[in-house]
């Protein structure tokens, strides 16, 4: 940090797959919680508080990727910047620590440190273990004849899903403001896992009911039933608006997976034929 002297730091480093946090709670807490503290300490040491910052240089601005999972068993819907936290997973608990330690360094040391309380943000780059990508990939594979069924957990769980590209734009806007403050970022629209399945399978002209099975083993030990963002502050103060709605997002992901699955099998066929 001292060598690079960055103007902005975006801490996106985390184990972000929530179900994993029950199996490896200590590891998730170490990375998602203590990792934030270590970043803040590094910035504190080189941001002028110990004289390491170059003379005349501005303060390093820090963005912490907080999460809607901090709201957990939500006290109110939609959730805003003032909604109390009730995390329902080790992941959510660790993220809550990261959020509060960021706020503490802002108040204790005058650091420019903000947290973005981002609701679920997806894209074709999402890992295949996450439910939206699991769905889009399955729809593509089933359509192309490479998969027969899709196993899912709670189809009635409700989330506020948006496009990751829109949310990264919000992250950047947060660090351009004169005063540091925290923001909730989401679309303000709720959809069920069932909706995600329907949008994905409709895009490939299939009836999802013919292919989707509910597996109780995939239901979380402590489910977060309803998450939806109150976006008034981020829209009013940052002028931010999402540009991709949820049906468009699922279609985008399915199209990307159709291309990926096709490429993978074409490459495999070439290898088998000895043409590569």
- Are 32 and 94 in contact by the 8 Å Cβ rule? The answer is yes
Secondary structure tally for the chain: helices H, strands E? 9, 10
According to DSSP, the residues that pair with 117 across neighbouring strands are 66, 184
199 given a catalytic annotation? no
Given the residues 21, 47, 66, 67, select the one marked as catalytic: 67
* Parallel/antiparallel/unpaired status of strands 150-152 and 121-122: unpaired
91 given a catalytic annotation? yes
Backbone angles phi, psi at 159, to 5 degrees: -135, 160
Q: How far apart are CA 14 and CA 115, in angstroms?
A: 14
Given the residues 69, 122, 167, 256, select the one marked as catalytic: 69
Given the residues 63, 91, 105, 167, select the one marked as catalytic: 91
Q: How far apart are CA 27 and CA 40, in angstroms?
A: 19
- Are 192 and 155 in contact by the 8 Å Cβ rule? The answer is yes
266 given a catalytic annotation? no
Query: Of 168, 163, 157, nearest to 122 (Cα)?
Result: 163
According to DSSP, the residues that pair with 121 across neighbouring strands are 162
Contacts of 74 by beta carbon, 8 Å cutoff, 6+ apart: 83, 86, 224, 226, 227
User: ω before 78 within 30° of 0 (cis)?
Assistant: yes
Length of the chain: 276
- Are 145 and 85 in contact by the 8 Å Cβ rule? The answer is no
Q: How far apart are CA 33 and CA 27, in angstroms?
A: 10
* Residues noted as catalytic: 67, 69, 91
């Amino acid at each position: 940090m001292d060598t690079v002297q960055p103007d902005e730091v975006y801490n996106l480093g985390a184990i972000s797959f929530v179900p994993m946090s029950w199996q490896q709670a200590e590891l998730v807490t170490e990375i998602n919680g203590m990792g934030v503290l270590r970043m803040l300490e590094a910035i504190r040491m080189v941001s002028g508080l110990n004289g390491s910052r170059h003379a005349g240089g501005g303060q390093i601005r820090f963005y912490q990727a907080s999460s809607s999972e901090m709201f957990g068993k939500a006290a109110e819907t939609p959730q805003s910047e003032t909604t109390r936290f009730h995390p329902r997973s080790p992941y959510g608990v660790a993220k809550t620590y990261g959020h509060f330690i960021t706020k503490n360094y802002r108040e204790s040391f005058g650091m420019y440190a903000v947290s973005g309380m981002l609701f679920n943000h997806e894209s074709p780059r999402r890992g295949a273990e996450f439910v939206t990508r699991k769905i889009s990939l399955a729809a593509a594979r089933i359509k192309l004849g490479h998969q027969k069924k899709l196993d899912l957990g709670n189809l009635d769980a409700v989330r506020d899903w948006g496009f990751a590209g829109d949310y990264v734009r919000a992250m950047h806007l947060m660090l351009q403001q004169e005063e540091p403050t925290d923001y909730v970022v989401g679309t303000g629209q709720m959809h069920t896992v069932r909706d995600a399945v329907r949008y994905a399978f409709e895009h490939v002209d299939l009836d999802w009911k013919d292919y989707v099975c509910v597996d109780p083993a995939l239901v979380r030990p402590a489910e977060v039933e309803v998450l939806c963002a109150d976006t008034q502050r981020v829209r009013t103060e940052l002028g931010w608006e999402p540009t991709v709605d949820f049906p468009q997002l699922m279609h985008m992901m399915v199209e990307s997976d159709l291309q990926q699955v096709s490429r993978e099998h074409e490459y495999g066929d070439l290898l088998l034929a000895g043409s590569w």
